Amino acid sequence: MKHKFNQHNNNNKKTYDPTQSRKMPGLSVQVRDGDFNYAMRKFKKKVQESGILQDLRDKEFYEKPSATRKKAKAAARARWLKKLRSDPIEQIRKNNR
């Protein structure tokens, strides 16, 4: 019985060619005029907006579905209370009670 990992096909072997320009998938930033700090700020902003690090932190440990629901419900309540604090009409209604 032959296994996949024992089969070798040297005809389709790919080698690295530094002269060939290729686009790598994912986030990228070009460094222009040697301004590395500007490029780093742009890259950090792209990473922040994409949510890659937040997703990584969320998946670092297993969280039970009940804990996920509890966290989502607490976040929704916090958003609602923040809206009530910032809405002037609601402030007037609270004062009239």
pTM: 0.47
The pLDDT value recorded for residue 13 is 65
Does residue 79 surpass a pLDDT of 90?
A: yes
For the chain, domain boundaries:
28-61, 63-97
- At 45, the pLDDT band (50, 70, 90 cuts) reads very high
* Residue 14 to residue 53: CA distance in whole angstroms: 32
Residue with the bigger pLDDT between 87 and 73: it is: 73
Does residue 70 surpass a pLDDT of 90?
A: yes
> By the 8 A CB rule, do 39 and 32 touch?
yes
Q: Which amino acid belongs to residue 23?
A: K
Tokens of 21: 């320009």
Average pLDDT of the residues in 20-47: 84
The pLDDT value recorded for residue 85 is 87
Rounded (5°) CA angle 48-50-52: 80
